[in-house]
Structure 1
Amino acid sequence: MGNQTGVLDFLLLGLSDQPEQQQLLFRLLFLGMYFIATLGNLLTILAICFDSHLYTLMYFFLANLSFLDLCFTSTTIPKMLINYSLGSNAISYAECLAQMYFYIAFGASDSILLSVMAYDHYLAVCHPLHYCTIMTSCLCALLVAVPWVSAHLISMVHAVMIAQLSFCTNNKIPHFFCDINALIKISCSDAHVNEILVFLLTGPIVLISFTCILVSYTPIVFAVWKVPSAHGKWKAFSTCGSHLSVVSLFFGTIIGVYFNPSSTHTAQKDMIATVIYAVVTPTPNPFIYSLWNKDLKRALGKLLDLQCFSKG
């Protein structure tokens, strides 16, 4: 593999080459956001697992989303934090490919699952009487399996094609993780096929998922508008608005990074956009989708009381 690529290690240049800025990013931004995201997602998963009243299809989707968000953020942030703390920016060739693979797999799974959850919300709000007959256990399992299987197949294709590229003397990746676009740019071999695959494989996942979310939420908004109670209407609109804001920020930055002409890209802009969809948007997800839910808050309270009682 070393003879094929020409390099055995890559150097992740990170977000900044200034030690003071690196320490600020390490201590305040990324460490704090990763801690919040990890804690929120873990609490959501545990609350759903330990409360039998939450063994429903909606919370099954929420648990899967929390697990995917946890895996998605863990593919990039821990390595970056370790590099900042040790003062090293090296990553081996094998680690780089593995990081790219899991980043694409979990990111694509997250995108598809968000559209599945939007469809689930649409059925629950607009067709509540037919919800149980439509959302059967088999369909629910299929809707969760499809994101996992399809995302890992797409990621595998990208990993195999990137492994065919040669990396001669330039081993510096102008990013904080092994992004596929950054690897394509520093390759010394023809990467035209890889660029096409990014559009053909990743593009439909993002665009179709985002379109499904918008289509699902449009009738939800009209249904909420007909709610007679002003308090109920405001509560529903605030919840839908929070969902759509995070989803729009997530998909909007992904589209800006991967589906704009390469001539409009700069390393700094791409990194900022990547931070938004890879670090910023997964952080509030457990609170927006899960921990604001009164049933989950009750389950979480029972879980924390159980833990305190067991320690006592």
Structure 2
Amino acid sequence: MPENNFPKLHNATWPGIVGKGSDSEPIIPFDTLLEKTAAAEVDGVKFDGVDIGLFDEHIGEYLNSADGGKRLADKLAGYNLEAGSLVANVWAGSAMGSKEARDTFVEQVRKACEFGKQLRDAGVRQGGVIRIDSASSPEAWSADPTGNTKQIAETFRRAADVAADFGERLAAEGEICWGGMHSWKAMIDTLEATDRPNVGFQADMSHTFLYLLGYNAPEDRILPADFQWNDRATLDEAFKKMTAALRPWTIDFHVAQNDGTVHGTGSHDKTGRHCLATDPNGKLDIVHHAGFWLRDEKGEPTRAFRHICWDGCMFPNEVMYKQQTWNDILAALVKVRNAHGWVA
């Protein structure tokens, strides 16, 4: 396949940390995830890169040293992988709450932007965003929806101003466990209140699927309460409504599968359950439903992002250590690109 095929295909490294740790299964080392990613191959196609969570447990040795970006770039190049989107450790603070928490949130975005620049300067990062969320719960947000949405937007604007100085864009990931982002309508309210050209939406197919079902926001449910999974026409209409509203904001995209349930492990709150690409209980037709995000209302590829990324948080370690898991994931991404990609 020619090198100028788009979007590029990325794997995520943060599933080695999210939902893992002392209260769950052991963290999977960063190097192990790179090895599995680099080893995956489907009909001669390999992953182009990785999206990276900026967490000490994985890359602290790089984050906390002056030449860390260059050293990480050398490591990635050794695996023939590029870097894409970066996850800022905004949970060290919060987008709402105390001034100290909000200041910490903005500082974490600054650190992510600085590290992203190091990777760009080292030649391994050609695109991608800085991923954020509100780092607050729907329960805390619901105490004052209007006031808290305003506060989240103010924090996002401060972070956006920092990101703009680095030429970065911020993508807020819609996920049912984050206040002010826990439903499709709340997400749009937050984005509209933020009103910054370099702030957009990160759509994860698993998390946004739960928007349709109204988890944590029954009033914003799109699918009817008596919906039956074999009613694919109604499901597609729901996708059309949701993606028509959120697609114009979407600047980063995660391919994923979901079985219509929520899941949480370790200290991670319950959110849309990520399922294996081959899970027979998966309710999404991955290739078909990716098209609602990757194509515009006229059916043309949006070309809104340089790469797409697989996200499979909270998979059991036994599954993540199997090379076949990553081959299957890559195969799903290849099918999505074949159906909705383009050649530059």
Give the TM bin, normalised by the shorter chain: under 0.3
Per residue, is there more strand in 1 or in 2?
2
**Which has the bigger relative contact order, CA under 8 A and spacing at least 6?**
1
| Structure (1 or 2) with the larger CA radius of gyration | 1
- Report the TM-score when normalising by structure 2: 0.25
- Report the TM-score when normalising by structure 1: 0.27
